[in-house]
Amino acid sequence: MWRLNNLGFKIRYNKNAVILHDWGNIKQEIRRAYNYGISRPRLYRKHPEMLSNLLEYDLYTLIFSLYILLLPITVIFPYYLLFLVITFLRNLFTSSIRKVALQKVFLDLICGFGVLTGILEFFVFRTWSIWI
């Protein structure tokens, strides 16, 4: 979508459009969430002008990445884990199926782990030059 916008194309909303998604099974969803997370740091490295949109488009990805980084805090402050309950409740009230709410929190954690892996990949292995 970024490339289309940068080329001058306009994305339009059509309330009558029918969109079908085939997300596959849970294993495929986990792999997709992890790969999405890994690609976020690469994308922002390749398109630094998009960093201004980080809080708008990738807020939850950023929050869950920070959450994973700060998990050692639970040794001192065990209530830190309640953040997941709050996120689950938020998803519970916005989705019609309870299973989807729990699955969303789990996939957000996987995506956050992917982001951390992507950042680690850059700082430790310096492998981004392959894609840039």
- Residue 25 is encoded by which pair of tokens? 């099974």
Cα–Cα distance, 14 to 18 (Å, whole number): 9
Indicate whether 121 pLDDT > 80. yes
Q: What residue segments make up the domains of the chain, in order of their start?
A: 24-130
**Least confident segment among 17-26, 38-47, 65-74:** 17-26
**Cα–Cα dist 122/118, whole Å:** 6
Question: Is 0.85 surpassed by the pTM of this model?
Answer: no
